[in-house]
Amino acid sequence: MAKSSEPEKPAVTLPGTVEKIIPGNSIANEKAQISVEDAEHLYREIRVDNTLQDENGKEVALKPGAHVQVTIEAEKDATVPKK
């Protein structure tokens, strides 16, 4: 979350659901596959490392079926006004 003295970045937050957990191995970390509800059908699923931090800095992982929020954020100079 931005501090009050920092300008807010343009952003959108979309609801999502953890569809499944993909086990890690010696090559890749465990991944969470998330279905983003408002995305186009062919681009709905994203996969991210399944490691988050709680309020105490302890590592935690998402569970299948968890409801999440996916936020896309950009610097102001990386955006243009919509026409």
The residue written with tokens 């931090």 in the block is: 53
Query: What are the sequence ranges of the domains in the chain?
Result: 16-75
User: By the 8 A CB rule, do 14 and 34 touch?
Assistant: no
Structure pTM?
0.82
What DSSP assignment string belongs to 16-77? Answer: EEEEEEE---SSS--EEEEEETTS-GGG-EEEEES-EE-TTS-EE---TT-EEEEEEE--GG
For residue 35, give Cα distances in angstroms to 30, 48, 64, 66.
17, 11, 11, 11
pLDDT in tens, the chain (83 residues): 545 566 789 999 999 999 999 999 999 999 999 999 999 999 999 999 999 999 999 999 999 999 999 999 999 999 999 99
Count of residues making up the chain: 83
